[in-house]
Structure formats: structure tokens, C-alpha cells
Amino acid sequence: MSDKIFETYLNSAGNECIMEKAKGLHKHLAEAPPVYFDGLGMVLQEAVKPITRVCKRDGSEQDMIMLGSNSFLGINTHPRIIEAVRKSYEKYGYGAGSPPLYSGQTQLHVELEERLAAFLGTEKALIFPSGYSGNLGVISGLCRENDIIICDSANHASIFDGAILSGAKLKCYLHQNTRHLEKILKSLPDTQSGRLIISDGVFSMEGSFAAVDEICELGKRYGAKVMIDDAHGFFAVGKNGSGTASTFSCMDKVDIHYGTFSKALGAIGGFCAGSAELIEYLKYYARSYFFSSALPASIVAGVLETIKLLEEEPEIIENLHKNMIFFKNSLDEIGFNTMGSKSAIVPILIGDTKILGLFQNDLFDAGIFSNIGTTPAVSGKTCRLRLNVMANHTRSQLQEVIDCLGKLGNKYGIL
């Protein structure tokens, strides 16, 4: 945003609420993505792979180049991981049948929490049944009515939902605008009891990074704790998948690390990591931990094995990085707006929901599986294709997609 527009924005009447997503959230939540009214109707016939067999709405089956999965590393069918999952089924059965504080916790859960804490350099970590429920539990467990939560306006829905559930006052700063964040922090009354800044690490709808270093600096200066949800960053960006904060060398400045197993690792589950005091508190106050059944040991076994595999074979993440760079740079060269992506999520700004639907359908017809981002995730005016690169896509598969996107970009006047 230019300085002039920013100043105008800050000086406008009631500027605090202009971007307060919370105010319009109920309307926002009630909106469905227009192009999805009939449902996509795509049914996978096998595990996600770079080329995946899909049954389409008309009943026909097609092998499609998969750019619609968050399973960025493409290893959820790796024989070593499947074997670990199989063994855990035999030992622990297929489900937990209890919350962790009853009888849902196995030795595998303990081991995974220790591994995660070591991976993130924190004292402790805690596993949740899903990324969504973990955010609800952590945020609503930590914050109360007199507290204030300050969110990037593009944060994931589960962060907003957790904030609303907490009853704390919610404010939004303009997406990625740390000057606006500072303006809000400066304006807070001293009496406000607790302040929590929350941001996605990698923004899920555009693949760009939050300025984690600046956010932590502001948190320190204005007495606010910082929580970074790096669902799309952990195991995908940074050296050895150490996440967005690590790319800014500020892992230790983040008070609450949050992530999921449902993206790069292609599994399910959320996790939170931080001080021992934080984690012990959350065990009793994060209601989606206390009152919800534990993640099945089979999933935990699979995640544990995946983390071991990634440590032993760093080239898996390196391949993802090579593919990300190749794909994004190629699209930039053609002239697409990839919205500052630096991760495995590479969007193409379309800006017109009707064209977006047609564009996506043409991609399907060409055998390319893509996702879209539109309401209620982002506004219709900034609707986009959302393409996810995987570590095991070949160059020729990616090139085929790039060529097809180029042709369709011209057809629809995007280029």
C-alpha cells in the first residue's frame, strides 16, 4: 500500500473497524463460494500423487496432474510410513477411543510431542485432533473477555473462530501491514489485560510469508505475546522444513508456535509448541484437547516416521523447494500475478469469479486438478486459482501445467 493511501486509511473516520473482519464475520461465514454451488464433484480413486486418478461429476475417470493437494511432500504413501502405520494399527487398534487425559494417550503420542518440541526448539508441545480444533482450543483457552487479540486480516478462519469463541476483543490489521499493526498496538489502553498478536506464517490463500521478525519485535515493544500458525510452513519452507519464523531467524522470539500435520505431511492433526508452563496450562484449558478424543496412534505413528524420514532424506524437502521456485518463476515470467508466493502454494490472481470458474473447468478438461480461492476465504475481487506444488512433481508435469495456464491466461485475458 502506498504511503498516501495508508495515511488516508489511518486518518479516515472509524479506521479501526474498516478492516475488522470480525464485524462482518457473520455475513462472511454465511457466504458460499459461488462457483461451488453444484459442488466440484471430484472423487479421488486413489491416494494423492503427482498424477492421481479422479472420478469426475459426469462419472468419467481421468488421470489428472494434481495441483490441488496440500500434501506438498507427496510422501503419504511412502512404504516406510505405511509400514509404521500398519504396525501401530496392530498394536494400538485404529482409533484412540478417549481424550488424551483419559486413556487416549500412547507412548507414540508422548514421543511425537517430544520430537516436535525438539524440532521447534521449545520446552514442550501438544497434539490436537485437527488443525482447526487446535486453534479453537489454544486461542479460546488463552484469551478472556478483557484481553485483546490482534489478527492479520488474512489469517485462517480457525484463528478468527478461536478468537470469537474466546470472547476477547478482536482487532485486525491490514494484511501484512506491520505499520498498521503498530498503530493498533500504540492505541491500546494500558488497562487492557492481555495482548496476543496472531498471524499465519505462510498465508494459506497466497503462499506469501508474514514478516515474523517485525511482528515479534512489535510484540516485544508493546507487551504482546506472539502466536504464529505455520500450518503451511512447517515441513515445507525454510531449511529442513523448519518453517517461516526460521527463515527470519526468529524461532525463539515466537511465544506460541502452531502447526498442522495436514499439509506438507498429508496426514491430520494440529500441534502447539512453547514453554512448559504454556503447554501444561493448555492441557486443561484448551477445550478441544481436554474434551476431544486423541489423534489415533496410527496417525501419530505415520507422522513420527515421516519426521524421521525427512531428517534422513533432506532431499525430499529440497526437491519441493526446487519445484516451488521453478513453478513460481515460470508463471511470473509469463506475466501472471502470483501474489508474492514463497511457498508450495502458488496462486494466480484472476479477480473475476465467473472467469475463475471457467478457467478452473478448462484446467479440469485439460487433466489438471487445481483449487480456487474465493469467498468466503477471500473476497471475490481477489479471487484466484490456488495451485499447490508437490516435491515429486516432475519438471515435465509442471511444464505441461505452465504451458496450459499460459494458453488459458491468454484466452481469458488474464495475461
Beta bridge partners of 151: 172, 198
Outline where 167-296 has alpha helix (H). 178-187, 212-221, 244-247, 276-285, 287-290
Cα torsion for 28, 31, 34, 36, to the nearest 10°?
A: 110
Judge whether 197 and 178 are in contact, CB under 8 Å. no
**Beta carbons within 8 Å of 269's beta carbon, 6+ residues apart:** 127, 128, 129, 130, 131, 260, 261, 262, 295, 299, 300, 303
- Nearer to ligand PMP (CB atom), residue 105 or residue 260: 260
In this structure, what C-alpha cell is assigned to residue 355?
472467469
Among 260, 292, 298, 388, binds ligand PMP (CB under 6 A): 260
Of the candidates 146, 183, 218, the one whose C-alpha atom is nearest the C-alpha of residue 18 is: 183
Q: Does 347 bind ligand PMP (CB under 6 A)?
A: no
Q: Does 262 bind ligand PMP (CB under 6 A)?
A: yes
In this structure, what C-alpha cell is assigned to residue 370?
487445481
**Alpha carbons 135 and 157: distance in angstroms, whole number:** 10
Q: Shortest distance, CB of residue 200 to ligand PMP, whole angstroms?
A: 5
β-strand 256-260 against 270-274: which pairing, if any?
antiparallel
β-strand 345-349 against 368-373: which pairing, if any?
unpaired
Q: Shortest distance, CB of residue 292 to ligand PMP, whole angstroms?
A: 12
Distance from the Cα of residue 21 to its chain's centroid: 18
Q: Shortest distance, CB of residue 257 to ligand PMP, whole angstroms?
A: 12
Q: Looking at residue 63, what DSSP letter applies?
A: E
Q: Shortest distance, CB of residue 13 to ligand PMP, whole angstroms?
A: 32
Q: Looking at residue 10, what DSSP letter applies?
A: H
Of the candidates 238, 256, 258, 257, the one whose C-alpha atom is nearest the C-alpha of residue 248 is: 238
Of the candidates 254, 247, 188, 186, the one whose C-alpha atom is nearest the C-alpha of residue 226 is: 254
In this structure, what C-alpha cell is assigned to residue 361?
473447468
Shortest-Cβ-distance residue relative to ligand PMP: 131
Q: Does 130 bind ligand PMP (CB under 6 A)?
A: yes
Judge whether 398 and 329 are in contact, CB under 8 Å. no
Q: Shortest distance, CB of residue 409 to ligand PMP, whole angstroms?
A: 26
- Nearer to ligand PMP (CB atom), residue 72 or residue 408: 72
Which residues between 152 and 211 bind ligand PMP (CB under 6 A)? 156, 158, 200, 204
Of the candidates 94, 33, 110, the one whose C-alpha atom is nearest the C-alpha of residue 283 is: 110
Q: Which stretch binds ligand PMP (CB under 6 A): 17-25, 125-133, 186-194, 281-289?
A: 125-133
Q: Shortest distance, CB of residue 155 to ligand PMP, whole angstroms?
A: 7
Q: Shortest distance, CB of residue 133 to ligand PMP, whole angstroms?
A: 7
**Alpha carbons 409 and 415: distance in angstroms, whole number:** 5
**Alpha carbons 350 and 383: distance in angstroms, whole number:** 6
Number of residues forming the site for ligand PMP (CB under 6 A): 14
- Nearer to ligand PMP (CB atom), residue 49 or residue 232: 232
Q: Shortest distance, CB of residue 347 to ligand PMP, whole angstroms?
A: 13
Instruction: Spell out, one character per residue from 218 to 237, where the chain touches ligand PMP: x when CB under 6 A holds, - when not.
Output: -----------x-xx-----
Q: Shortest distance, CB of residue 322 to ligand PMP, whole angstroms?
A: 23
- Nearer to ligand PMP (CB atom), residue 133 or residue 360: 133
**Alpha carbons 235 and 307: distance in angstroms, whole number:** 8
In this structure, what C-alpha cell is assigned to residue 194?
492481555
Q: Does 131 bind ligand PMP (CB under 6 A)?
A: yes
- Nearer to ligand PMP (CB atom), residue 105 or residue 130: 130
In this structure, what C-alpha cell is assigned to residue 267?
496426514
- Nearer to ligand PMP (CB atom), residue 104 or residue 134: 134
Among 71, 105, 122, 135, binds ligand PMP (CB under 6 A): 135
**Alpha carbons 165 and 151: distance in angstroms, whole number:** 14
Q: Which stretch binds ligand PMP (CB under 6 A): 6-14, 127-135, 144-152, 271-279?
A: 127-135
Among 72, 132, 327, 359, binds ligand PMP (CB under 6 A): 132
Q: Shortest distance, CB of residue 286 to ligand PMP, whole angstroms?
A: 14
Q: Shortest distance, CB of residue 178 to ligand PMP, whole angstroms?
A: 19
Q: Does 343 bind ligand PMP (CB under 6 A)?
A: no
Which residues between 266 and 305 bind ligand PMP (CB under 6 A)? 270
Q: Which stretch binds ligand PMP (CB under 6 A): 129-137, 160-168, 297-305, 398-406?
A: 129-137
Q: Does 21 bind ligand PMP (CB under 6 A)?
A: no
Interface with ligand PMP (CB under 6 A): 130-132, 135, 156, 158, 200, 204, 229, 231-232, 260, 262, 270
